[in-house]
Amino acid sequence: MKKLILLLLTSILLVANTCASGSTDSTLLTGSTTTTENTTGETMNITLTIGAKTFAATLSDNATTRALISKFPLTVDMSELNGNEYYAYLDISLPAASKNPRTIHAGDIKLYGANCLVIFYKSFSTSYSYTDLGAISDTAGLLDALKASGGKVTFSLAE
């Protein structure tokens, strides 16, 4: 009985520490999770449109980012969390290769778990693990844009 209660409490704590449930206004996506880190060393340029402001970003070329960009353009409604990030759960599980980066930098774009897309607007130390996707080139005005748009972000390939 004690083991069952301990397992239940552990499960509750794990759920409480993950991203809170979010929604997207994008087309329903389906998929499966695979753990891989197939990086070619190349990068891909993308654009994030947040309200009236556009941000250039660079993604690493790996299995996770290739799966993500196959769904572009992708519009998500992101929610603020912890005073340092905006997140949205996707309706697809992406290939994940989570590592603890030790330090998060403002502008980092990461995947938490296999389906939680995160944009960080502050730099800080972390004990959490993420799959690195890329980074926004210039974060000037990022938080203001996220707030003004209500967290609505469109990811698309750069032209």
DSSP-derived secondary structure letter, 130: B
Mean pLDDT, residues 63-87: 97
Residue closest to 157 by CA, chosen among 67, 90, 73: 73
pLDDT at 74 over 80: yes
Helix (H) or strand (E) holding 13: helix 2-17
Q: What amino acid is encoded at 137 in this protein?
A: S
Residue listed under structure tokens 């993420």: 130
Are the C-beta atoms of 64 and 127 separated by less than 8 Å?
Answer: no
Proportion of the chain above pLDDT 90, given as a percent: 73
Could you tell me how many helices (H) and strands (E) the chain has, helices first? Answer: 3, 12
